[in-house]
Amino acid sequence: MTTLNLKEIFESFDVFEKSYVLQPEAVGFPAELGDIREPLEVFVKITRERNGYKVHLSIVGSVELECSRCLSTFSKDLSQEREKHIERYPTEETLSLSPEDLDVSFMEEPDIINLEELVREELILSVPMKPLCKPDCSGIHHHAYIFEEEKGHPTDPRFAILKNLLSE
Ligand SMILES: [Zn+2]
């Protein structure tokens, strides 16, 4: 676990910048969403702001997903640049959330952040609800065509093309 104690860090620095390589096990990405197989490269830049901190995250990496139509696995690039604000839980008087607050993580102790948790949160948000191996994936019914062909039906040239595509 990579814990950053910002209170301590900002006692001696005004800006915190560091690169990390996070192992898949450490990130703990939910297996039901996908499988991260390669280490992630993460660059963090943190600055202080009025109610907490501004965290700039630059993530390079990919996840193996299962296509929701054809069930094949494919690799999706999750590389991204994100800016997050980490603030103390709002008090009763200041509690009025606006759409911009989606970029805000409220924490009991905003001075202590867990890098893996932060990265995991961003990655989960960037996995599509219905992953597709390619935008025009036409699903598993391809197998039905091949089955027909094997039974000795006249071979439609389109099926041959499909078969070649599938065996790639
Ligand atoms: Zn597919």
Q: How confident is the model at residue 104 (pLDDT cuts 50, 70, 90)?
A: confident
C-alpha 137 to ligand 1 mean position (Å): 5
| Per-residue model confidence as pLDDT tens digits over 4-38 | 999 999 998 899 999 999 999 999 999 999 999 99
- Stretch 55-64: mean pLDDT: 97
pLDDT > 90? residue 158: no
Residues 109 and 54 in one domain: yes
- Judge whether 55 and 46 are in contact, CB under 8 Å: yes
Residues 87 and 166 in one domain: no
Residues 97 and 149 in one domain: no
Residues 91 and 152 in one domain: no
- Judge whether 39 and 22 are in contact, CB under 8 Å: yes
Q: Residue 129 belongs to what domain range?
A: 3-133
Residues 46 and 72 in one domain: yes
Residues 144 and 128 in one domain: no
Provide CB contacts within 8 A for 63, sequence distance 6+: 29, 33, 34, 35, 36, 75, 76, 78, 123, 127
Residues 7 and 31 in one domain: yes
C-alpha 90 to ligand 1 mean position (Å): 44
Residues 56 and 106 in one domain: yes
C-alpha 64 to ligand 1 mean position (Å): 13
Residues 143 and 123 in one domain: no
pLDDT > 70? residue 145: no
pLDDT > 80? residue 99: no
Other Cβ atoms within 10 Å of 113 Cβ, number? 23
3-class DSSP assignment, residue 167: helix
Q: How confident is the model at residue 88 (pLDDT cuts 50, 70, 90)?
A: confident
Q: Which residue has the tokens 């600055």?
A: 47
Residues 112 and 150 in one domain: no
Domains contained in the chain, number: 2
| Integer Cα distance of 157 and 23 in angstroms | 46
- pTM of this structure: 0.74
C-alpha 162 to ligand 1 mean position (Å): 13
C-alpha 30 to ligand 1 mean position (Å): 21
Residues 119 and 154 in one domain: no
Helix (H), strand (E) at residue 71: none
Residues 106 and 144 in one domain: no
